[in-house]
Structure 1
Amino acid sequence: MAIVFTALRVLLGLFFAFSGVIKLTDQVSAELYRHMKSRFVQSADVFPLKDFGWKPDPYQYLQAVGWIELVAGLLLAFGPRILQEISNLMLCIIMIGAIYTLLVLKEPIAICAPATVSLGLLLLLIIRGPGKKSKSKAE
């Protein structure tokens, strides 16, 4: 079972790293990059800290999320255990923010599903925890 969780961690990490790259450059897909830029204009308008007087610049917000996803994704996939755990936490926060934003923007459930599934898988990795092994029948 440990191999399944290792594979999940690596694949999820690579997914987030790729998602970060899409937010950072138009070299992968110019259309996706333009879409992300327009989505982050909307996201900045409903940013949770806006009520406290802080609204991020959409481009800087896009870049920050992109870098966090890229670095945290790579560390989740290939980093040492402590950095995997920190990266997982950072990505959970990003996904909670994404779900919040999508709900405030009243997006359809189908649009919310990828962030929700990603958060669920990240939480599964946290609950299972690194190095936890299932009890054997001999115990």
Structure 2
Amino acid sequence: MALLVRVLRLGLGLFFLLTGAVKLSDRISAQLHLQMRAQFVQFADVFPLKEFGYSPEPVQYLEVVGWTEAVAGVLLALGPQLLQEISNFVLTVIMIGAIYTLLALKEPLAMCTPATVCLGLLLLLNVRGRGWKAKPKFE
């Protein structure tokens, strides 16, 4: 079971590194990067803190999310346990924000599937780290 958790953590970490890199650079996929830039214009319109007077500039919003995903992905995959837990929390918040944003834009539920699956896997890693540890053997 521990090997499965390590593989899941490594895979998720590398996935978030890749998604962050796509947001930051057009070298991986120019078309996908342009699509992300266009989407973040819409995402900025429904930013949760907009009701409190803060509306992010779309390109900066894209860059902040991209850097956060990339750094947290690396830490989730390769960092020490404390940083893995912190990055798991940060990525969980980002996925909740992504789901909120897509629902606020009234996107089809199928558009929420990737963020929902990632959120579920992050929560699984969090539960695994807390409650599924081997029980001590009493002699």
Report if TM-score (shorter chain) is over 0.5.
yes
Match of 2:97 in 1: 97
Which residue type is aligned with residue 5 of structure 2? Answer: F
Which residue type is aligned with residue 135 of structure 2? Answer: K
Match of 1:61 in 2: 61
Return the alpha-carbon distance in structure 1 between the equivalents of residues 129 and 9 of structure 2. 11
Match of 2:72 in 1: 72
Q: CA deviation at 1:128?
A: 1.0
Return the alpha-carbon distance in structure 1 between the equivalents of residues 52 and 109 of structure 2. 28
Match of 1:87 in 2: 87
Does 2:55 correspond to 1:46?
no
Return the alpha-carbon distance in structure 1 between the equivalents of residues 132 and 52 of structure 2. 41
Return the alpha-carbon distance in structure 2 between the equivalents of residues 107 and 124 of structure 1. 26
Structure-to-structure mapping, 1:13-28, within 5 angstroms? 13-28=13-28
Tell me the secondary structure at the aligned position of residue 56 of structure 2.
coil
Number of equivalences: 138
Runs of 4+ in 1 over 4 A off after TM superposition: none
Could you tell me whether the CA contact under 8 Å between 1:81 and 1:130 is conserved in 2? no
Q: CA deviation at 1:135?
A: 3.5
Which residue type is aligned with residue 21 of structure 2? Answer: V
Could you tell me whether the CA contact under 8 Å between 1:2 and 1:133 is conserved in 2? no
Q: CA deviation at 1:80?
A: 0.5
RMSD of equivalent CA atoms: 1.5
Match of 2:121 in 1: 121
Which residue type is aligned with residue 86 of structure 1? Answer: I
Structure 1, unmatched stretches of 5+, are none
Quickly say closer, same or farther: Cα 1:78–1:130, change in 2 above 3 A. farther
Match of 1:37 in 2: 37
Task: Tell me the alpha carbon deviations over residues 10-31 of structure 1, each in whole angstroms, 9 at most, x when there is no partner.
Answer: 0000000000000000010000
Task: Tell me the alpha carbon deviations over residues 19-71 of structure 1, each in whole angstroms, 9 at most, x when there is no partner.
Answer: 00000000100000000001100000000000000000000000000000000
Q: CA deviation at 1:132?
A: 4.8
Tell me the secondary structure at the aligned position of residue 97 of structure 1.
helix
